[in-house]
Amino acid sequence: MAKKETAISPESAHGLRRAVGIWGSFTWGYADVGADVYVALGLVMAAAQGATPLAFAVTGFVYLFIGLAYTELASTYPVAGGGQYYVLRGLGDILGFTAGWALLLDFTIDVSLFSLASAGYINFFFPALNGRVEVPIFGQVQLWLAIEAVILILFLIGLNIKGIRESSRLNSITCAVDMFNESVIVFFGFLFAFDPNLIQQQFTQEFPSTYNFMYGASIAIISYIGLESISQAAEETVRPATIVPRTSLALIFTVLIYALSFSTLGLGMLPWQTFAQHMGDPVAVLAHNIPFLGFIAGPFTAILAATLIYASANTGVMGYSRITWSMSKFRLLPQWFKVVHPKFRTPVRTILVFSAVALVEVILASLTPNAYDTLANMYAFGAVTGYILVLISLIRLRVVDPYTPRPYRVPGTIHVNIRGQRVDLPFMAFVGLAGNIVIWVMVVLTHDIGRIAGPSWLLLGFLIYFLSRRRENLPLLGNVPRDWEAEQMRVLGEAQEFEYLEQYREALKRRNHG
């Protein structure tokens, strides 16, 4: 007789153990976002060509404001829901669902694209596996690369269903080794191989068209995707009000420095066409061409990149497991997703459904002329849509929830009076919002697949949302009544942020007696 699957109890939703310290919080985020440059460098080079560093700089500028917003929100609301939770609190149910569903698209593409990229770096040692095979109707496709990616995804499914999570210590060691390796590549690359004349020549003579630059800049945003990891880990972080701002800010600037350094060094060492031709392993090719060190640095970087990228793909599986749990908890998704395996106590339905989406994505992408580019084409839509809603939520939460202590605030405050009450609005959030809207327009204009697949994904989500709400007799367009003040006191208490909890209670008392 088959065992029945069981639902997670509400108590277990509040039971995440807080054991992540400052280094663990940083490496948790770095394992996700730190791998992005390994994937993005070749894609952006192929589009932005001689203006690749400028493309990374433009999106890096916007990313800075996104990072500051996530830093404030994750330290103020240290829960596992991430961006979806912030939008739910700030803008209500339907937009909270929209943000969560858009981010779910990103998590599935994270799994598919990064499994493909991990296979690409493995094939640094087996270049024949990158070869194309004639497939009827579809022509020449990278069949062996696709098979490798599918195997890697299936392995992730098995690991996550059994509940085998990545070792925190192994994760920390891998991230430390990777940062050391990236620093070595940058230092010795600039010391031994960088040619200022080459980068100047490529910038002036091979500057891309406006369309290609917009496409390259919008693709470059994937170098900075991953801040959700720190915000989702906030519920397991010790004293998140203190730790999250430090780790988030450190991660923002670390990733920004590496992305700008690699793109600048790359154009100063090799023609951009070299990276476009090695879209599967661009950083390994860069390391391999450093004089004196390349014969060691190239293979070592390929192994390290394949490992880190695969770990990042695993964070995608963990990400959609967490976000669907949060959305089900707040009645944004059917309770069906809350069911866990009776033996392994893992959200088996969520893992199977969204991993199946990732498998379909990688298979369909592999039938196109460039699988990497096809998946990246869809990646930016979900991320930027979610970021826009998060930034709007940050602004609105400053208005509707002024009493919650904010351990970190986005710099640049505008003081305004709203209904006789002074409100501190974050000026930089408005700048970041404008920048994200510009990138979103770039995505819609230049991403042929993304502008169709992205809205289609949202339409599918709305269908599920409205059918679920109707079935459960919940308001279709309204909000489920929630006591956010009691929720915030619970969150601060569980985070052991007793000083901020007392400040919050005192602020509510002053409001009630005012």
DSSP assignments along 303-331, one per residue: HHHHHHHHHHHHHHHHHHHHHHHHHHHTT
Proportion of the chain above pLDDT 70, given as a percent: 93
Mean pLDDT of 214-222: 92
What b/e sequence results for 90-107 when a residue is b if at least 16 CB atoms lie within 10 Å of its CB, and e otherwise?
bbbbbbbbbbbbbbbbbb
Does the pLDDT of residue 345 top 80, yes or no? no
CA distance 299 to 305: 10
Q: How far apart are CA 268 and CA 219, in angstroms?
A: 21
Dist. CA 455–CA 382, nearest whole Å? 9
Query: Residue 74's CB: how many other CB atoms inside 10 A?
Result: 32
- pLDDT, one tens digit per residue, over 26-41 is 887 887 788 889 999 9
Q: How confident is the model at residue 167 (pLDDT cuts 50, 70, 90)?
A: low
Q: How far is CA 439 from CA 60, 207, 219, 220, in A?
A: 12, 20, 10, 10
| CB proximity list for 83: less than 8 A, separation 6 or greater | 70, 99, 100, 103, 228, 231, 386, 387, 389, 390
**pLDDT of amino acid 6:** 41
Choose between 399 and 233: higher pLDDT.
Answer: 399
Alpha-carbon Rg for the chain, nearest whole angstrom, is 23
In which band, very low, low, confident or very high, does the pLDDT at 11 lie, cut at 50, 70 and 90? very low
> Residue 151 has what pLDDT?
97
240 and 78 in contact (C-beta within 8 Å)? yes
User: Does residue 20 register a pLDDT over 60?
Assistant: yes
Q: What is the predicted pLDDT for the residue at 10?
A: 35
pLDDT at 435 over 90: yes
DSSP secondary structure, 85-103, as one string? HHHHHHH-HHHHHHHHHHH
Could you tell me which of 1, 42, 6 has the C-alpha nearest to residue 285?
A: 42
What DSSP state is assigned to residue 448? Answer: T
- Round to the nearest angstrom and report the end-to-end CA distance of the chain: 63
With 80 as the cut, is the pLDDT of residue 361 above it?
A: yes
Q: Which of 168-177, 338-347, 457-466, 489-498 has the highest mean pLDDT?
A: 457-466
CA atoms lying within 13 Å on the CB side of residue 472: 18
Most confident of 140-154, 307-321, 406-420: 140-154
How high is the pLDDT of residue 3? 40
Task: Decide: helix, strand or coil at residue 73.
Answer: helix
Question: Residue 36: CA atoms inside 13 Å, Cβ hemisphere, count?
Answer: 33
Measure the CA–CA gap between 352 and 340, rounded to whole angstroms. Answer: 12
Q: Which domains does the chain have, with CATH numbers?
A: 20-482 (1.20.1740.10)
Count how many residues are written for the chain. 514
- Alpha-carbon distance of 376 to 463, in angstroms, equals 25
Question: In sequence order, what are the residues at sequence separation of 6 or more whose Cβ sits closer than 8 angstroms to the Cβ of residue 433?
Answer: 388, 391, 392, 395
Quick one: pLDDT at residue 228?
72
- The DSSP result for 207-267, as a single string, is PPPHHHHHHHHHHHGGGGTTTHHHHHHGGGBSSHHHHHHHHHHHHHHHHHHHHHHHHHHHH
What is the rounded distance in angstroms from the CA atom of residue 97 to the CA atom of residue 334? 12
Mean pLDDT of 353-370: 93
| Confidence check: pLDDT of 321 > 80 | yes
What single DSSP character describes residue 338?
A: G
What's the average model confidence in pLDDT over 247-258? 90
Q: Residue written as tokens 């433009």?
A: 58
- Is the model's pLDDT at 498 over the cut of 60? yes
pLDDT digits (tens, 9 = 90+) for 83-95: 899 999 999 999 9
Segment 193-216 shows an average pLDDT of: 96
**8-state DSSP, 334:** -
Q: Which residues pair with 20 in a beta bridge?
A: 237
Q: What is the pLDDT of residues 70-79, one digit of tens each?
A: 999 989 998 8
The torsion defined by the Cα of 27, 33, 38 and 44, in degrees rounded to 10, comes to -160
